Amino acid sequence: MKFRNSVFATVLVLFSAPLHCVAQESNADYTDSHKAVGGFSAMLMITSDKDWQEKWYTPESTVPKFTTTDSVSVGQTIVILPFFANPALGKDGIPKIRCDIRMTKPDGSVGTNQKDVLCFPPVKLPKPQNVQITNMAIMFQAEDSDPKGRWSVEVTIHDLIGHRELPLKKTFTVK
């Protein structure tokens, strides 16, 4: 397994479509990978798109479309993308977002476990209700030596100013 926690460019290009969970009134539609609390919302997505950055960094009027997947074959790479919207802001208009990440192999052993990672740059958000992407893209390349079966990735996004956290979970299968 080649596992890389990529911190990509912190230039913020936002798009105007809020996460579906921001607009929803009921928790009934939430899933392990899509949650909200007190207006703060987050989503975890797995994509096979090699050009995911080009799809994300577009004008605000363009809503990116990602190809999602729940499996990866040996030699292929997937990218796990954490998103959030509507964080609480400090008096300076800047959110404080931290993330925990844990990846678990099919046998239950832990592949990675990182806590309290700065996963969003300290910048002003002119439209905090817009979807933001964390700067923690998790790239996973399946190798022959990787255990085949269902892996799980858990990301908890912490809104430190709003005293809120959203634990997200997504699984994928290594074939």
Band of the pLDDT at 77, cuts 50, 70, 90? very high
Beta carbons within 10 angstroms of residue 14's beta carbon = 18
Question: For residues 97 and 86, what is the distance between their CA atoms, to the nearest angstrom?
Answer: 11
Give SS3 for 52. Answer: helix
Residue-wise pLDDT tens digits, 80-89: 999 999 999 9
**Average pLDDT over the chain, rounded to an integer:** 85
Question: For residues 155 and 149, what is the distance between their CA atoms, to the nearest angstrom?
Answer: 20
Residue-wise pLDDT tens digits, 46-61: 999 999 999 998 888 8
Please give the average per-residue pLDDT across 3-7, as a whole number.
Answer: 43
Task: Give the global pTM.
Answer: 0.83
- pLDDT recorded at residue 7: 36
Band of the pLDDT at 1, cuts 50, 70, 90? low
Question: For residues 1 and 6, what is the distance between their CA atoms, to the nearest angstrom?
Answer: 15
Q: Which CATH number fits domain 2-174: 3.40.980.10, 2.40.170.20, 2.60.40.3880, 3.40.50.2300?
A: 2.60.40.3880
Question: For residues 85 and 164, what is the distance between their CA atoms, to the nearest angstrom?
Answer: 12
Element (H, E) at 57: none
